Structure 1
Amino acid sequence: MYIKKLQILLLSIFSLSIFVSTAQEINIDNLKKHIYYLSSDKMKGRATGSQELKKSANYIEKEFKKYKLSPKGTKGYRQSFTAKVSRVVVPDSLRRAENIIGFLDNSAPYTVVIGAHYDHLGLGDFGGSKDPDNIGKIHNGADDNASGVAGLLELARHYSNNGVKEQFNILFIAFSAEELGLLGSKHWTENPTLPLSEIHWMLNMDMIGRYNPANGLAVIGYGTSPQFPAIFEGIQSDIKFNLSKDGNGGSDQTSFYKKNIPVLFFHTGGHEDYHKTGDDAEKIDYTALKSILQLEVEVIDKSMQQQKMDFTWTN
């Protein structure tokens, strides 16, 4: 009887270890599912204020609920605001937008913020398109930024199911209206749903799907905290990554940097399909995307071994 109980106990421990190990693996199939859905023609380019962006918001919220993240918006998972199109004159220049916000509550005093914007250019008819011959056609935005949202959702899955109660909370934010001038992240940092003083640091993913081995992955913001050198010490990856000090840049981490919060911005760089109709899901390098997220997990985990991170201006 004793031996049988011991066997059952060992089998249970083994099964749990297999579950935790599987949960810790970044899943390429999940990444493909998210990117192919968000950048399909049916989503019509996810323009701010569109019905298709609302469908994207619903998709993200459903995933947050599946991972049992707590709602951390102003109304459930949502934080609504008005976004204005200012690059060109359009009849509907004022558009309703929503940040989607989920919280992994580890009962910790401080929180890591992980963010990515989920809007794109729609049909390219409200400014920003680099494809003048195809204005009025769908700009799918697979790399920009379905890739970042896929990363956001996969990190949410990982940290919700890894069997570990970390020493920090994690706030996951899908920002809207980034393409209109970082409006979603600006709104959140001006109207935060948790105190800015409680933020450990912020990680932003924008265009992480088109890795070019010749250039490597850009990790921007390395100079925004004196703790980042210790965090990156000894970190290795099967992809090349380059550390850049500046905290400013053309994406949502800038809004946090301007509030004296340490930031890192992960970015695989521009390409011939940037803000054009050819930015499609089949062009994403999913193997490299998995490696980027594995690198991010290591960085996040090592950051949780630090005390609350100090901030440094880089310019």
Structure 2
Amino acid sequence: MKNNMKMWAFGLLLAAGFPACDKKPTSETATVDQPTVATVNVPAFNADSAYAFVAKQVSFGPRVPNTAAHRACGDYLVSKFKGYGANVIEQTFTAKAYDGTVLSLRNIMAQFNPKASKRILLAAHWDTRHMADKDPKNPTKPNDGANDGASGVAVLLEIARQLQSNPGSQNVGIDLMLFDGEDYGQDAAETWCLGSQHWGKNLVPSGYNAQYGILLDMVGAKNARFGKEETSRTYAGDVVEKIWRTAHKIGYSDYFPMIDAPGITDDHVFVIQYTNIRMADIIAYDPTSPDGFFGEYHHRHTDNMDIIDRNTLKAVGQTVLHVVLTEQ
């Protein structure tokens, strides 16, 4: 993620009819319970562990579809989730990229408390972009994707580890979804987020639904700030408010300021478009950056371990843990 055009592409999808959105509940018609964090014993999110998970993914090399690094990292992620006791579902498929390349892709879902009828979906993308096209040096070579890809996955891996270490801590089912093929796009919105598009049209498990979802994207950079992204506010406003209020209650208001951000095309757009799941996007927002939204590392070779910060991972991970573990 993401091309500059993606900042307004969600509006084009809406203007074009945004198929099936008329059946989506909005914040005016559906709500989630507001947090009661003071009465719930939520385990501590381990930022060192999350940082190590970022580093491990980066150690494979760029996780570009159709490469050995991509396949090896995918196998590692499946193995880790299984090791944490999750019910793991792999959705393999092919998709044609904007340049005609046929990509071999794999969505990975890890389910905890799979028999629970009420479910929460947490998601991130695990692939990296095939070229650092914004970098003045070597723009055709891929970057490490430490933040754009690995950070969100790392937070979900640490959440999985906490769920195993604290059995019975959740009152609902929690599903951790890793979307593939998110970052192999160009220009038109529909060329991005291939994994979430495929899953939304071909749900696994069949008939899957969740009370709501939270997407994590670029959640590990130093001094990151997260604004309330517009599509999230429009289609999952109550979820956004729950996340931000929780962050403020547990001491992370600096990371989650009460500011609005423009809409972008990210995996949550296609989850909303093709399913009944309202999903909020936690994504770094920096209006002072060269791109007007993402940080200076975006789609550049500076997206490496040097920009990853344990404090940011902690702020996001602890907030999301509080949100899901306070569900009744």
* TM bracket, shorter-chain basis: 0.7 to 0.9
| Structure 1 position 56, deviation (Å) | 1.1
| Structure 1 position 247, deviation (Å) | 10
Q: What is the identity, as a one-letter code, of the residue corresponding to 1:198?
A: N
**Residue in structure 1 matching 2:50, options 13, 31, 55:** 31
8 A contact 2:170–2:324 mirrored in 1: no
Following the alignment from structure 2 to structure 1, what is the Cα–Cα distance between the partners of residues 258 and 66? 35
Q: Helix, strand or coil for the counterpart of 2:203?
A: coil
Following the alignment from structure 2 to structure 1, what is the Cα–Cα distance between the partners of residues 96 and 259? 31
Q: Tell me how large the CA RMSD over aligned residues is.
A: 2.5
8 A contact 1:24–1:161 mirrored in 2: no
| Structure 1 position 242, deviation (Å) | 3.6
| Structure 1 position 248, deviation (Å) | 5.6
- Residue of structure 1 in register with 2:64 after alignment: 47
CA distance 1:277–1:68, shift in 2 (3 Å): same
Q: Name the larger-Rg structure.
A: 1
CA deviation vs aligned residue, 1:11-58 (integer Å, no higher than 9, x gap): xxxxxxxxxx8x922112211211112123x41x11112111111101
Unaligned 5+ segments in structure 2 are 1-40, 185-191, 286-293
Q: Does 1:208 align with 2:232?
A: no
Q: Does 1:95 align with 2:103?
A: yes
CA deviation vs aligned residue, 1:235-263 (integer Å, no higher than 9, x gap): 42233314577896321111111133211
CA distance 1:230–1:145, shift in 2 (3 Å): closer
Q: Does 1:301 align with 2:301?
A: no
Following the alignment from structure 1 to structure 2, what is the Cα–Cα distance between the partners of residues 105 and 152? 16
Select the structure with the greater relative contact order (CA < 8 A; seq sep ≥ 6): 2
CA deviation vs aligned residue, 1:57-116 (integer Å, no higher than 9, x gap): 0111111011110123xxxxx211112221x46xxx102111112111252112111111
CA distance 1:257–1:211, shift in 2 (3 Å): farther
Higher mean displacement: 237-246 or 190-199: 237-246
**Residue in structure 1 matching 2:297, options 268, 273, 276:** 273
**Residue in structure 2 matching 1:67, options 84, 92, 95:** 84
Following the alignment from structure 2 to structure 1, what is the Cα–Cα distance between the partners of residues 142 and 237? 43
Q: Does 1:184 align with 2:201?
A: no
CA distance 1:202–1:282, shift in 2 (3 Å): same
Q: Helix, strand or coil for the counterpart of 1:179?
A: coil
CA distance 1:173–1:157, shift in 2 (3 Å): same
Unaligned 5+ segments in structure 1 are 1-20, 73-77, 306-315
| Structure 1 position 174, deviation (Å) | 1.0
- Residue of structure 1 in register with 2:279 after alignment: 263
Tell me how many residue pairs correspond in the alignment.
266
Following the alignment from structure 1 to structure 2, what is the Cα–Cα distance between the partners of residues 230 and 265? 13
8 A contact 1:38–1:146 mirrored in 2: yes
| Structure 1 position 207, deviation (Å) | 0.3
Q: What is the identity, as a one-letter code, of the residue corresponding to 2:53?
A: H
8 A contact 1:247–1:254 mirrored in 2: no
CA deviation vs aligned residue, 1:191-236 (integer Å, no higher than 9, x gap): 11135563111111110112436xx222432443464446755642
Q: Helix, strand or coil for the counterpart of 1:137?
A: coil
CA distance 1:141–1:233, shift in 2 (3 Å): closer
Following the alignment from structure 2 to structure 1, what is the Cα–Cα distance between the partners of residues 166 and 149? 26
